[in-house]
Amino acid sequence: MSYGFTHRGYRHGAEENTRLAFERAYNAGIRHFETDVRCTADAVVYAFHDESVERITDGRGRFNELLDEQVVRLRAGGEPLARLQELIEAFEDVTFNIDVKDEAVIAPLARVIEKTASHERVALASFDTARTRATAHLLSKPVRRSPGTADMIRIWLWAHLAGRVPAKYAAEFWAVQVPQRRGIVPVTTRCFIRAVHRAGMQVHVWVVNDEPGMRRLLARDVDALISDEAPTLARVLRG
C-alpha cells in the first residue's frame, strides 16, 4: 500500500512549516509529514527550511543566530513558526520524515526525539548521510533513515550498472528518497525501483504535485510520494 508525505505542510493559505500548514494537511487526510529542522542559537528545534528567515517570515537574519524568544515573534503568512516538539506532541498518529539541515541541529534534534519518545514515528533524512548517522548515534533506540546524495548516487549506479543494490545499504537505510529527475537524468526508472525493492528498501519520490505524475509513479510501484498538494495527494491515494 503506497502512502504520501505532505511537504512542509499544506502550503496553500498558510506558509510552509507552520502549525496551520500541518493542521490543514492533517485535515486533508495525510498522516505522514515531511519537514526540515533548524535550531535557534539557544538550541530550540523548529520546523524550518532556509538558512535565513527573510523568504517566508517578516523577520531578518540567519535562523541559527536568533534566540527562541525572537523566533516566537516571527510570522510566516501571519502564522507563527512551529517548534518540532510541539508538532510531534500535537499529531500523535503522524510519522515525521525530518530533514536534518545542518550540523548545529543534530544534538538538539536528538534531544527532542528522546524527550517525546518518538523513535518509531520519526525518519531522518539529509543530503549528507553523516548528519543522520550522527543524530541516530545519539539516540537510545533506532530510527529509520534514508541516504544522502553521495550514497544515493552510488545506489542509482549499482541499480543501473549491476541490476542490484548491495545489502549494506538496506542494512542502514529503510528507504531512498529521490526526485523524478536529476537534471536531464531520469532517476525513478523501473530498473532503479525494482533493484531498490529487491534490496529491501522503499522508494519515495519528491516533490510530486500533479495528479497524472502521482498516478504514473504509483503505477511504477513507488512506495511513497512527497507533495505540496495535500488534497490532491490524499485523493489519489484513496484511488
What are residue 36's DSSP bridge partners? 99
Phi (first) and psi of residue 176, to 5 degrees: -105, 135
Q: Could you say which of 7, 12, 119, 204 is catalytic?
A: 7
Q: How far apart are CA 17 and CA 24, in angstroms?
A: 11
Smallest Cα–Cα separation from 46: which of 79, 13, 93, 24?
Answer: 79
Evaluate the CA torsion angle 135, 35, 195, 185 in order and state its sign. Answer: negative
Radius of gyration of the chain (CA): 18
DSSP one-letter code for 83: B
DSSP one-letter code for 14: S
Q: How far apart are CA 118 and CA 130, in angstroms?
A: 21
Q: In the chain, which ranges are E strands?
A: 3-7, 32-39, 45-47, 75-76, 79-80, 95-100, 122-125, 144-145, 175-179, 181-182, 185-186, 202-206, 224-227
Smallest Cα–Cα separation from 86: which of 149, 37, 125?
Answer: 37
* Residue where the block lists cell 531522518: 124
Q: How far, CA to CA in Å, does 192 sit from each of 176, 202, 229?
A: 11, 11, 25
Q: Could you say which of 32, 49, 119, 160 is catalytic?
A: 49
Residue 7 is among the residues annotated as catalytic for this protein? yes
Active site (catalytic) residues = 7, 49
